[in-house]
A = this chain, B = another copy of it.
Amino acid sequence: MSEDDLFRALADPTRRAIFEKLAAGSMNASVLREGMAISQPAMSQHLSVLRSAGLVREERQGRFVNYEVDPDGLTHIAQWLSKYRASWPARIDALKALLKDMDQ
């Protein structure tokens, strides 16, 4: 769940696509795979990477394993981003203020 794991996990377009699909609603690995040109082991491996990055979490339900977005990963990215708020353009002033709230 390091920053390394996080950004590395998101560096792959297939994994971002998987994550995006999961963000629309939790589902198991098989359903997740529908419509994606990817083998079953590849999906399993990607999910494992996303999981150890803290972006996704799983829950076994009988034969199936249900996956959902893990807020921890997103929170970690937000915290990383907030470190650089001094470098943000003025346009996003509102975001600056919001991130300030987050500190507390």
Contact = CB atoms under 8 A, between A and B. Distances in A.
A10 B7 contact: yes
**A contact face: mostly helix, strand, loop, or mixed:** helix
Interface string A77-97: 110010110111101101101
Nearest to A87: B69
Contact of A101 (B71, B83, B89, B95): B95
User: Interface size class for chain A?
Assistant: 20 to 34
A28 B8 CA distance: 27
Interface of A: 3-4, 7-8, 10-11, 13, 16, 20, 23, 69, 71, 74-75, 77-78, 81, 83-84, 86-89, 91-92, 94-95, 97-99, 101-102
